C-alpha cells in the first residue's frame, strides 16, 4: 500500500483551526445564538428521516455543535470524492466506489445543512494535494477518511442530547462503516478488523483532519485601497 496520510502533523497555516473553531467552540454567545436559530432547522431536517427521527424532541446547542462537526467532516469527504471522480485518475471498482460513496457524502452534506439551517458552518476550501489525482494515493486516503468518519460518529453519538438527532447520526454512522469496509476490501485490508471499534473524541478527530492539511484558506483574490498600477 502506498503513501498513507500522516495524521500526526500540525496544521500548516491555521486555516483548519479557523474553520474548526466555529465547530468546536460551542460556548460562545454567537454560537449559542446560532443554535437557537437552528432549532427549527433541525426539526425539519430530522423529519426527513421519517420514523427514525422525531421532531418533537428538544434541541440543544450541544447538538448543533455536534452536527456542525459532522458537517465539516462530510464537506471534506464529499469534496474529496467529487474531485477524485472529476479528475479522472480512477478506474474500475475504485471509480465505482468513489461515485457511489461521493453521492452518499453529498447527500449527508445536504441533509446536515438542511437540518442546521442558518447555523450550518460554511464549506471550507480544500487542497487534496494530489490524492484525488492518483489511484493509489486515493485508495489509501479514502480508507483513512472513512475510518476517521466512523470513529468520529462513534465518539459523538453518546454525547448527543436529542433522540431525533441521535437517530439521524446513527443512520449516517452505519453507512460510513459500510464505506470503510468497502474501501478496506478494495485495499486488501481486513474490512472488519476488530470486534469492537474504539471511538475518537472531537479533539482527536480535529487533530487528525488538521494533520492531513486538506483544509486550506481560499486564495485571497480581492483587495481594497491603494491604487492599481494597470496600464489604464
Partner 1 sequence: MAALALLGLAFVVFVAVAYGREPAVAGPEVMLPAIPAAAPDAVPQVTQAVSGTYSRRLSNPNGVSRFMAVLREIEARARPADDARVVARLGTRTPEGTTNVVLALSRVDRSGRLWIKARLPVLPNNTVGWIPRDALGGYNAVNTHLVVSTRKFTATLYRYGKQIFSAPVGVGQSRWPTPAGRYYIRNKLTRYSSPVYGPLAFGTSARSAVLTDWPAGGFVGIHGTNQPGLIPGRISHGCIRLRNADILRLARLMPPGTPLTIF
Q: Is 70 in the site for partner 1 (CB under 8 A)?
A: no
State the binding string over 19-38 for partner 1 (x if CB under 8 A, else -).
--------------------
Contact 216, 127 (CB under 8 A): yes
Q: Which of residues 98-137 bind partner 1 (CB under 8 A)?
A: 99-100, 102-103, 106-107, 109-110, 125-130, 133-134, 136
CA neighbor of 146 nearest in space, from 208, 67, 213, 211? 208
For 101, counting Cβ atoms within 10 Å of its Cβ (0-12 exposed, 13-18 middle, 19+ buried), the class is buried
Residue 221 near partner 1 by CB under 8 A: yes
Return the residue of 14, 88, 122, 193 that touches partner 1, per CB under 8 A: 88
Contact residue for partner 1 among 9, 86, 118, 201 (CB under 8 A): 86
Task: Give yes or no for a contact between 26 and 61, defined as CB atoms under 8 angstroms apart.
Answer: yes
Distance CA(216)–CA(38), nearest Å, equals 26
The C-alpha cell that represents 53 in the structure block: 427521527
Query: Can you give the binding site for partner 1, defined by CB under 8 A?
Result: 78, 82-83, 86-89, 91-93, 95-96, 99-100, 102-103, 106-107, 109-110, 125-130, 133-134, 136, 216, 218-232
Amino acid at each position: 500500500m502506498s503513501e498513507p496520510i500522516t495524521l500526526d502533523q500540525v496544521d500548516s497555516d491555521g486555516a483548519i483551526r479557523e474553520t474548526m473553531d466555529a465547530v468546536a467552540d460551542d460556548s460562545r454567545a454567537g454560537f449559542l445564538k446560532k443554535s437557537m436559530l437552528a432549532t427549527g432547522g433541525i426539526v425539519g431536517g430530522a423529519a426527513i428521516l421519517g420514523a427514525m427521527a422525531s421532531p418533537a424532541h428538544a434541541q440543544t446547542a450541544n447538538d448543533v455543535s455536534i452536527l456542525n462537526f459532522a458537517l465539516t467532516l462530510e464537506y471534506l469527504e464529499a469534496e474529496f470524492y467529487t474531485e477524485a471522480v472529476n479528475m479522472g485518475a480512477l478506474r474500475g471498482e475504485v471509480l465505482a466506489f468513489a461515485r457511489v460513496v461521493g453521492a452518499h457524502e453529498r447527500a449527508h452534506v445536504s441533509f446536515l445543512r438542511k437540518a442546521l439551517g442558518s447555523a450550518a458552518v460554511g464549506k471550507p476550501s480544500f487542497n487534496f494535494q494530489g490524492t484525488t489525482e492518483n489511484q493509489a494515493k486515493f485508495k489509501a486516503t479514502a480508507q483513512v477518511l472513512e475510518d476517521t468518519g466512523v470513529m468520529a460518529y462513534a465518539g459523538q453519538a453518546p454525547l448527543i442530547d436529542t433522540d431525533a438527532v441521535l437517530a439521524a447520526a446513527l443512520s449516517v454512522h452505519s453507512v460510513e462503516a459500510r464505506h470503510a469496509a468497502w474501501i478496506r476490501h478494495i485495499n486488501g485490508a481486513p474490512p472488519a478488523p476488530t470486534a469492537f471499534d474504539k471511538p475518537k473524541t472531537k479533539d482527536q478527530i480535529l487533530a487528525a483532519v488538521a494533520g492531513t492539511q486538506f483544509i486550506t484558506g481560499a486564495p485571497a483574490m480581492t483587495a481594497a485601497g491603494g491604487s492599481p498600477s494597470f496600464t489604464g
